[in-house]
Each structure stands twice: as structure tokens, then as C-alpha cells.
A = this chain, B = another copy of it.
Amino acid sequence: MSADEVDYVSGRTRLFGIVGHPIAQVRSPEMFTAEFKARGQDAILLPFHVLPEDFDLVVPALMRMPNLDGLIFTIPFKQRAILLAQEIGANAKIVGAVNALARTDGGWRADIFDGLGCVEAFRRRGFSFKGRRVMVIGAGGAGSAIAVAVAHQGPALIRLFDVDDVRVAELASKVRIVDSLITVETGPARHEGFDVLLNASPVGMLEDARLPIEATTFDRSLIVFDAIVKPETTPLLALAERSGCVTVRGREMMSGQISRMTDYFGLPTGKST
């Protein structure tokens, strides 16, 4: 390499992209590309800005480039993207949305990893949800994916809360589909009698000083997770720390998700070149 060349892109670099609208705020390009690089792969993940009215034209066209190996989907495309793949993963079928599309031998497969990242973050801490009593706050996109992924691990009880009653009822039925042995409850958020508290609502994000649950202290045996990435220590996590609880952060979920998705894209750990 001479001084008038960069070392991070060449004619041999494999392409990945995140498809969204808007696109400027996404963090996947810098984070996934770092994961690819850490694995010694000559690959890069790019921001692909696609307008909603162009989705059906542009995304199938991108998929025809032989050096493009995978796509990530974000707002507002997670539902529509499910139609692009021949193979749909079990989680994606239940959630009804995908966020990753990977090239296979003859076509494309898709799955959703929003919830698996949470499960992976707990697994890295040596924790399994099997037999546990789990409170999930928030039944939107993130909450649904997390509840379904957790359900696959066979917890004893999942209690769901969301400000939207319809949404929480739909999620409850999805969780029952995953495993009919799980006790599924809906209603106000509780922490007493639970092993794990998972927040997947936006309450506590950025300047929001509120807690997503009524509480002044937690039992120190409770494990508290917050999907929010900014701030790193949400009001919920601050209360959990003051209560002496183990906490799991949004960033750990993101890191777990990046690792699982990179596996899904078929990028091995070894050097490719």
C-alpha cells in the first residue's frame, strides 16, 4: 500500500449493508465493520439509504450484486424484508419481522436477532433464562423480539407490560406459541417475585429521567437489564446498582447481537485473505 491508498477497501472487499430510512443515525456501519475486522475479514458494512417507495425496486437489485453477502434492516423495513428470503428463521416467523438477510448457496435466508442479542448478553454472563421468572416491559419491536427469544429458553413465567393493551395481548399469544409450558401473564410491571427484569420500553432514554416501573428499591437478587444504549446508565440501571443488583446493559445486547449476526452472515473467525 502506498500513501495514496487506504487499506480498508479494495476490489476484493465483500459488501454488507444496513437498509433504512432515515439512515444517518445508524450505528451498525462502524460497529459491524469493527467486528468483521476483528475476525480478520476483508468486509465492510455500509449505510444503504432506501426510500420506502423504492424498497421493492432497490433492495432486490442490491441482492443481485455477487459481492454483496448480507443486509441488515432497520426502521421502517423489518416487516417488509421478510418477503425477500426463501428461508425464514423460527424467531422471525413468530415475530413477523426480520433484521438480517444472508446469502446462502442458492438464495437468501432471513431471521431476527433483536432478541437473541439480549439472550447472548446474559449467556456471556453465564446466565440462562431456563426455569426463571421474567418481567418484560415493552411489547414493541424490541420487546417482542426479546420476549420471544427468552421464551425459547424455557422460562417458568413471563409477565408482559405495555402501555398498549392490544400489543401486549398479541405478544402474549406469540410467547405461548413458542412454548405452551410457560406461564404467561399480562398487566402492570412488577419486580417482586421475579428473577429478571427486562426493560425494552423507551422510558429512560436520553434525557428521560423516569423509571419504567414503580419502585424505590429492588431485591438484590433481581437481575436488571435495559435495552437502552443512551444513556449507558439509565435511571432503571442506576436504581438497580443502588439496590446491589447485577445489571446488564443495552450495549452488551448490541455487542451480543453483532456477534450472532456476523456468525449468521457466515463470516468465520479466521483470516480470509
Contact = CB atoms under 8 A, between A and B. Distances in A.
B8 A47 contact: no
Contact of A64 (B9, B23, B35, B51): B51
Given A65-B58, A67-B49, A11 B31 contact: no
A239 interface: no
Nearest to A1: B30
B4 A29 contact: no
A135 to B, nearest CB: 29
A156 interface: no
A15 interface: yes
Contacts of A34: 3-6
Nearest to A58: B61
A33 interface: yes
Instruction: Tell me how many chains of this kind the complex includes.
Output: 2
A18 B35 CA distance: 25
A105 interface: no
A5 B23 contact: no
Contacts of A15: 46-48
A94 to B, nearest CB: 29
A255 interface: yes
A5 B30 contact: yes
Interface of A: 1, 3-13, 15, 18, 23-31, 33-35, 37-38, 44-51, 54, 57-58, 61-62, 64-68, 255
Given A12-B24, A29-B11, A29-B13, A35 B4 contact: yes
A255 to B, nearest CB: 7
A12 B23 CA distance: 7
8 contacts: A4-B31, A7-B30, A9-B33, A9-B45, A9-B47, A48-B65, A48-B67, A58-B65
A76 to B, nearest CB: 15
A203 B218 CA distance: 79
